[in-house]
Amino acid sequence: MDWSDVVNADLHVHSHHSKAVSRFMDFRHMAEGARLKGLDVVGTGDILNPLWERELLQTASRVDEGTYEVSGVRFILTAEVEDERRVHHLLIFPSLTQVHEMRERLRPHSANMDSEGRPHVSLPASEIAEVANDLDVLIGPAHAFTPWTSLYKEHSSMGEAYDGAKIDFLELGLSADSGMADRIKEHHRLPYLSNSDAHSPYPHRLGREFNRFTVREATFEEIRKALRNRGGRRIVFNAGLDPRLGKYYLTACSRCYRAYDLNAAVRLGWRCPACGGRIKMGVRDRVLQLADTDERPADRPPYIRLVPLAEVISRVTGRGVGTKTVERVYRSLVETVGNEIRVLVDAPVDEISRVDARIASVVERMRTGRLRIVPGGGGRYGRLVL
């Protein structure tokens, strides 16, 4: 079968209508960042917010009911909601009709539906999922393992949380990969998504995790078929941070970031004796707590562990991510090679080396799993060591 598109998609971001999000998270800046990154599709994020929907309609051209376009980048309709236990769920909508219906059905249970990008809904996960199922909206747990606002922070299983409602995917989050998630057998029937949860449009945030799909066209309906592995559409791979780079990989103090063995954390009552801060369970330990299998689905797509290009350049040059030096090297690589994803994943190392041999060497080591990383934990990102 002759497929016209292999697309890179980041389906979980936030707009400037959410708390602690850059004012530059508007559609034009997101499209600009996506082009630098090499993303073909980006989730709108926050589409339940009426003001953000208005910005979409003012800025984007409509491709079909569930797909819009800004400056050559496709946007599909997505939102994140928080349930009564502060667990976050990612929603992907077929059309604005379902957005409007979901908004009206959840609004009686939400005090901030019209004012916040990520609304709090005073309903259990199971009831939110039932509404999504009724409306044919795709739903899955967002950043499922992180020790804040996640499924496995509040529940011991998906069945306990969703109580029989249909779940369409599981989002891994920055501190987990598919190999870790597959240690839990109830996940084996689900596709995984790796998304950035970006709060700014800069390429070291937007698209730091993404999914590559084989589809006929970059649209909602084609991506839904890929998630369901139908008609030849499929997930080619998930890509994202090496989990050790995530902020919550290790069990660690959320104030001084000292790492703890899980047994020691329990013995200490989850209080850090060094500073009195709260110890947060790491994703690695939570997965090991829940693990019930060493098997893995035969058709599970690979997971590609990455380091954002700006972080690589920062370590090589010894300059901060936002400095002119890093920006100059980044622009040179992206303009010559094509985009960041092509540098990190697709381009021959020799091609990268013609621009910067030092960066090419790190990329080659990243692709072959030979990077040294100091793991993150407690809310502090891990660190690449050269």
Instruction: Give the pairing type, strands 192-193 and 170-171.
Output: parallel
Spatial distance between the Cα atoms of 214 and 234, rounded to a whole number of angstroms: 5
Average pLDDT over residues 216-224: 97
Position 1 scores a pLDDT of 34
The answer to whether 308 and 204 are in contact (CB under 8 A) is yes
Average pLDDT over residues 34-63: 98
Angle at 307 between CA 284 and CA 328, to 5 degrees: 155
pLDDT tens profile 178-213? 999 999 999 999 999 999 999 999 989 999 999 999
Q: Give the largest Cα separation in the chain, rounded.
A: 61
Spatial distance between the Cα atoms of 80 and 56, rounded to a whole number of angstroms: 17
Average pLDDT score, the chain: 97
Spatial distance between the Cα atoms of 320 and 201, rounded to a whole number of angstroms: 18
**How far are the Cα atoms of 29, 46, 147, 361, 376 from residue 70, in angstroms, in the given order?**
10, 17, 35, 35, 35
Position 134 scores a pLDDT of 98
Residue 96 has pLDDT above 70, yes or no: yes
pLDDT tens profile 132-184? 999 999 999 999 999 999 999 999 999 999 999 999 999 999 999 999 999 99
Length of the chain: 386
The answer to whether 60 and 28 are in contact (CB under 8 A) is no
Spatial distance between the Cα atoms of 371 and 382, rounded to a whole number of angstroms: 12
Residue 36 has pLDDT above 60, yes or no: yes
Average pLDDT over residues 15-21: 97
Position 4 scores a pLDDT of 56
State what percent of residues in the chain have pLDDT above 90. 98
**What is the H or E stretch that residue 240 is in?**
strand 234-241
The per-residue b/e assignment along 210-231, b for 16 or more CB within 10 angstroms, e otherwise, is bbbbbbbebbbbbbbbbbeeee
Average pLDDT over residues 9-28: 98
Dihedral class, residue 260 (left if φ above 0, else alpha if ψ from -120 to 50, else beta): beta
pLDDT tens profile 117-126? 999 999 999 9
Specify the pTM. 0.96
**How far are the Cα atoms of 81, 206, 272 from residue 25, in angstroms, in the given order?**
18, 10, 36
Task: Please list the residue range(s) of the chain that carry CATH number 3.20.20.140.
Answer: 5-243
Residue 383 has pLDDT above 70, yes or no: yes
Residue with tokens 């995790």, as numbered in its chain: 209
With bands split at pLDDT 50, 70 and 90, how would you rate the model's confidence at 5?
Answer: confident
Angle at 287 between CA 281 and CA 289, to 5 degrees: 80
pLDDT tens profile 224-271? 999 999 999 999 999 999 999 999 999 999 999 999 999 999 999 999
The answer to whether 145 and 173 are in contact (CB under 8 A) is yes
Query: What are the beta bridge partners of residue 377?
Result: 250, 380
Q: Which residues contact 349 (CB under 8 A, 6 or more apart)?
A: 360, 363, 364, 367
User: Mapping DSSP to helix (H, G, I), strand (E, B) and coil, where does residue 1 land?
Assistant: coil
pLDDT tens profile 298-357? 999 999 999 999 999 999 999 999 999 999 999 999 999 999 999 999 999 999 999 999
Position 3 scores a pLDDT of 45
Q: Which fold has domain 5-243?
A: TIM Barrel (3.20.20)
